[in-house]
């Protein structure tokens, strides 16, 4: 039976069971407890910068609570990177606010700082109010141009929320991603650099902010001998069981990061002689990506076997990711999709037992956000049309990478 190579799956360290067993033995099987406290301490030591961390049920919950902490409410606008997963943007709508999407620059694929400032000025001119927050994303682990983004944000006194869900361990100018803005978001989903099976965390500026976030994450209960609620709260705290997995994962976090970087270096070596395929890498030494997912771009002129059948068959079920619940596609095409050579290569690699995936479809091209303001330059749409994510996780071996590249090369008919 052919081995299946997955995009990014977590790998257990072996020590997770110890922390989980302690939780059962001490009957701490609730969304608080020694493992939660210990995991938060581990994370605070890892990210440094005198930051405080709250462990939560998901990275999406962290985005939601960061927006609340920034005062976002009904009728407000929040600037959000367009080239990202929907979890960066959806919590804006949970609060009755409107996302304002800003396109990317080509060096890091993240928010374009000049376009960000143009968007701010235009929103002020159109609405008479500045946006309440800026959500900058470190896509696929690649740090955004945080100095430039932070300068624009400071000029207009707008707080920055760093979505570092994909960038655990990535650094920008030796500063850990997630510690540069006012708040930083981490994710520990099953496909991330480390996992708690599901979960996330919010990096906070200080202890006071941490206590406020914890208050809202645990149903906003006042200190009476009965349940008194004067604010709307949420059930967002991480469970002691999941935190136990996280504590075990922290023992191998650095090893996982180094493995992803090693896999990137191997892809670079093996793809060096393939014209028409470019690997996304750190633009300069200021950027230290964790390479959560290694990504490639296929030149439009690159010819791949089976292009003529690329979109001939409707997809059944989800492509990648743990969330396998989807609606059946109503048609074979949408008005914004990867090029035929990208889809043909995805199908060919899937048939060879290799999971690959298109890049994130820009939020400003998602039907659910069709009416949201967007400031675009064509970069994210161009990247989406040409890009693929390659297997990169801790379970991906050197032998796997050799096999993946061999399959890529064998399916190329013409190199421009």
30 and 158, same domain (yes or no) = yes
Question: Taking the CA of residue 110 as centre, how many other CA atoms within 13 Å lie in the half-sphere pointing to its CB?
Answer: 28
Claim to verify: residue 327 and residue 354 sit in the same structural domain: yes
CATH number of the structural domain spanning residue 353: 3.90.1150.10
Same domain, yes or no, for 239 and 271? no
Q: CA 233, CA 212: separation in Å to the nearest integer?
A: 11
Q: Name the average pLDDT for the chain.
A: 94
pLDDT digits (tens, 9 = 90+) for 372-398: 999 999 999 999 999 999 999 999 999
Helix (H) or strand (E) segment spanning residue 414: strand 412-414
Distance CA(114)–CA(16), nearest Å, equals 45
In a domain, residue 2? The reply is no
Which pLDDT value is given to residue 325?
A: 67
* Same domain flag for 312 and 375: yes
Q: Are residues 218 and 296 in the same domain?
A: no
Residues 6+ apart with CB under 8 A from 69: 183, 209, 212, 213
Quick: pLDDT tens for 20-78. 888 777 877 767 789 999 999 999 999 999 999 999 999 999 999 999 999 999 999 99
Q: Which of 230, 252, 274 is the last residue of a domain?
A: 252
344 is in which domain, residue-wise? 254-414
Which residues of the chain, if any, have pLDDT below 70? Answer: 1-2, 30, 316-325, 414-416
This prediction has a pTM of: 0.94
Q: Which CATH number characterizes residue 116's domain? A: 3.40.640.10
Look at residue 84 in the predicted model and tell me its pLDDT. 98
**Domain end position, chosen among 225, 252, 279:** 252
**Is residue 40 in a domain?**
yes
**Assigned domain for 11 exists:** no
Burial class (CB in 10 A: 0-12, 13-18, 19+), 190: middle
User: Does 202 lie in the same domain as 96?
Assistant: yes
Q: Which tokens belong to 350?
A: 């899937």
Establish if 8 belongs to a structural domain: no
Counting the structural domains of the chain, the total is 2
Q: Is residue 248 domain-shared with residue 276, that is, in the same domain? A: no
**In this structure, are strands 357-358 and 294-298 parallel, antiparallel, or unpaired?**
unpaired
């Amino acid at each position: 039976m052919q081995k299946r190579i997955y995009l990014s799956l977590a790998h257990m360290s072996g020590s997770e069971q110890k922390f989980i067993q302690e939780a059962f033995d001490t009957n701490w099987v609730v969304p608080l407890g020694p493992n939660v406290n210990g995991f938060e301490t581990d994370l605070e030591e890892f990210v440094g910068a005198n930051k405080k961390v709250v462990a939560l049920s998901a990275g999406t919950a962290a985005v939601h609570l960061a927006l609340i902490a920034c005062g976002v409410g009904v009728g407000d606008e929040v600037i959000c990177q367009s080239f990202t997963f929907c979890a960066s943007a959806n919590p804006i709508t949970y609060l009755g606010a409107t996302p304002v999407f800003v396109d990317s620059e080509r060096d890091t694929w993240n928010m374009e700082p000049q376009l960000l400032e143009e968007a701010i000025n235009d929103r002020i001119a159109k609405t008479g109010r500045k946006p309440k927050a800026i959500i900058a994303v470190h896509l696929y682990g690649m740090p955004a141009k945080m100095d430039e983004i932070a300068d624009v944000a400071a000029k207009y006194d707008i707080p920055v929320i760093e979505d570092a869900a994909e960038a655990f361990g990535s650094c920008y100018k030796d500063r850990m991603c997630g510690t540069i803005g006012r708040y930083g978001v981490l994710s520990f989903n099953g496909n991330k650099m480390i996992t708690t099976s599901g979960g996330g965390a919010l990096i906070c500026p200080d202890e006071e902010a941490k206590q406020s976030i914890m208050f809202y994450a645990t149903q906003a209960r006042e200190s009476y001998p009965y349940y008194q609620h004067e604010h709307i709260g949420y059930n967002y705290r991480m469970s002691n069981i999941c935190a136990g997995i996280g504590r075990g994962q922290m023992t191998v976090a650095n090893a996982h990061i180094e493995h992803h970087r090693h896999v990137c270096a191997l892809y670079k070596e093996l793809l060096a002689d393939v014209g028409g395929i470019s690997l996304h890498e750190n633009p300069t030494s200021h950027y230290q990506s964790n390479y959560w997912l290694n990504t490639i771009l296929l030149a439009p002129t690159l010819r791949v076997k089976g292009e003529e059948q690329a979109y001939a068959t409707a997809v059944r079920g989800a492509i990648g990711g743990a969330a396998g619940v989807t609606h059946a596609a109503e048609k074979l095409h949408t008005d914004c999709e990867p090029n035929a050579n990208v889809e043909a290569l995805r199908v060919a690699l899937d048939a060879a037992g290799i999971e690959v995936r298109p890049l994130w479809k820009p939020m400003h091209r998602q039907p659910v956000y069709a009416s949201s303001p967007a400031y675009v330059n064509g970069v994210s749409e161009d990247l989406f049309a040409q890009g693929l994510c390659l297997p990169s996780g801790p379970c991906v071996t050197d032998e796997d990478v050799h096999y993946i590249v061999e399959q890529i090369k064998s399916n190329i008919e013409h190199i421009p």
